Amino acid sequence: MNVLLEKTINTNYAVKLKNIKDLKKGDLIPLVSDSMFKIIFGSESKKKFVAYFLSLIIKEDAKEIEDNMEFIKNELDQESYSGAKRSVDIVIRLDGKIYNIEMNNNSTIASLERNIDYANKIYSSSRRRGKSYKYEYVYQININNFTFEGEERTMDEFEIMSMYDKNKSLTNKIHFVYFYLPKMLERYYNGDELNELEKFLIILNSTHEEEFSDLEEDEIMEEARDAIARASDTYFAYYDAKEDADWLYHAEMQEMERNGIKKGKEEGIKEGIEKATIENAKSFIKIGTPLEDISKALGLNIEELKEIQNNL
């Protein structure tokens, strides 16, 4: 049997994420960045982009999807002694179905197995929403920044199939779609004709404002590219401050442990990081950055940001 997750992962043509400190004017943070992915595809103010993406997959009108879709809770109960939560990337309810979109920049089999677990948990949790034993349809979309040795497609789809009759499915209520960015980029560089979905994902993964400028874009693609550019500018400002704060925090912790100093000072360092986060939030609010985008970047909730905004 040809088992996909037993194959060797291939990262040829994968989108390369630069170190933030190496970025220069005109550089963009691509969609494969977890933060950019959640800002562009998981933001209420930019929901038309994920609606357009879904429309290219399920072949329905993008505006109708935008008007009827709903972002739902993206945390799953984790059955463990810690009672911790598992965070999934994006979960959307649309017309009685649940769409889970995952960006996989981590090229490991374990990350894909984790996503299968997520899909099953979303499926099982959907029953608890009602009194009956009716389960909702779960459609998991994986955007992979890697492919597998010997695989030539830019996408693949999977369901639970019969071992004896390949035309027979046990259920169509759990469905997996895999997109392979490297294969799309390989087709682009080879001069092959691209479909609209391939163009869209390639454009959203531009690493410079002039990259892939030869691709014919429709209006929504142009808007998405502009949104990536604006979000990149905001993210640069945030990331520099956050990275420095995190680096300082861990450096201080290591130094205290090395010198045998009690960890009671940890709270003071955390307080300094929290103050820096609030100052960053004030700066973004002053330049008109949407509160939802600030929340995604800085980890503050909307109510906290509204309070900061009211006190400016």
Give domain status of residue 11, yes or no.
no
Could you tell me the residue range of the domain that residue 81 belongs to?
29-217
Q: How confident is the model over 289-308, as pLDDT tens digits?
A: 788 878 877 778 888 888 88
181 with 287, same domain?
Answer: no
142 with 258, same domain?
Answer: no
44 with 87, same domain?
Answer: yes
Q: What's the one-letter identity of residue 247?
A: W
pTM: 0.74
Q: Who contacts 11 (Cβ-Cβ below 8 Å, separation ≥6)?
A: 107, 145, 146, 182
126 with 258, same domain?
Answer: no
Residue 155 dihedral angles phi and psi, to the nearest 5°:
-150, 160
116 with 209, same domain?
Answer: yes
Q: Are β-strands 90-94 and 97-104 bridged in parallel, bridged antiparallel, or unpaired?
A: antiparallel
Domain boundary at 182, 217, 252, which? 217
Q: How confident is the model over 81-113, as pLDDT tens digits?
A: 334 445 567 999 999 899 999 999 888 898 899
Q: Are β-strands 169-180 and 155-161 bridged in parallel, bridged antiparallel, or unpaired?
A: antiparallel
Q: Is 269 exposed, middle or buried (0-12, 13-18, 19+ CB in 10 A)?
A: middle
Q: What three-state secondary structure class fits 132?
A: coil
Question: How far are the Cα atoms of 112, 123, 134, 244, 245 from residue 21, in angstroms, in the given order?
Answer: 30, 41, 50, 11, 14
pLDDT classification of 149: cutoffs 50, 70, 90: very high
Domain boundary at 185, 217, 249, which? 217
Whether the predicted pLDDT of 187 surpasses 50: yes
Torsion of CA 115, 121, 123, 128, to 10 degrees: -160
160 with 36, same domain?
Answer: yes
Q: How confident is the model over 237-279, as pLDDT tens digits?
A: 555 545 444 434 444 454 455 445 444 445 554 555 576 678 7
Give domain status of residue 36, yes or no.
yes
Q: Rounded distance, CA 118 to CA 130, Å? A: 20
Whether the predicted pLDDT of 73 surpasses 90: no
pLDDT confidence of residue 290: 83
Q: Quick count: other Cβ atoms within 10 Å of Cβ 126?
A: 19
170 with 73, same domain?
Answer: yes
Give domain status of residue 113, yes or no.
yes
185 with 273, same domain?
Answer: no
Give domain status of residue 9, yes or no.
no
Residue 145 dihedral angles phi and psi, to the nearest 5°:
-90, 45
Which of 119-128, 135-144, 292-301 has the highest mean predicted lDDT (pLDDT)? 135-144
Looking at the structure of the chain, the number of domains it has is: 2
Question: Considering only 56-60, 193-197, 211-215, which range has the smallest mean pLDDT?
Answer: 211-215
CA 193 to chain CA centroid, Å, is 27
Say if residues 225 and 203 touch (Cβ distance below 8 Å). Answer: yes
194 with 151, same domain?
Answer: yes
Give domain status of residue 10, yes or no.
no
Q: What's the one-letter identity of residue 62?
A: A
Mean pLDDT confidence for 223-234 = 84
Helix axes 47-58, 34-41, angle to 10 degrees: 90
53 with 85, same domain?
Answer: yes
266 with 212, same domain?
Answer: no
pLDDT confidence of residue 75: 54
Say if residues 302 and 312 touch (Cβ distance below 8 Å). Answer: no
Say if residues 102 and 115 touch (Cβ distance below 8 Å). Answer: yes
End-to-end CA distance of the chain: 63
pLDDT confidence of residue 229: 87
Say if residues 162 and 170 touch (Cβ distance below 8 Å). Answer: yes
Say if residues 65 and 55 touch (Cβ distance below 8 Å). Answer: yes
pLDDT confidence of residue 108: 86
Give domain status of residue 1, yes or no.
no
CA 152 to chain CA centroid, Å, is 24
Which of 16-30, 139-153, 247-261 has the highest mean predicted lDDT (pLDDT)? 139-153
Give domain status of residue 8, yes or no.
no
Domain boundary at 160, 184, 217, which? 217
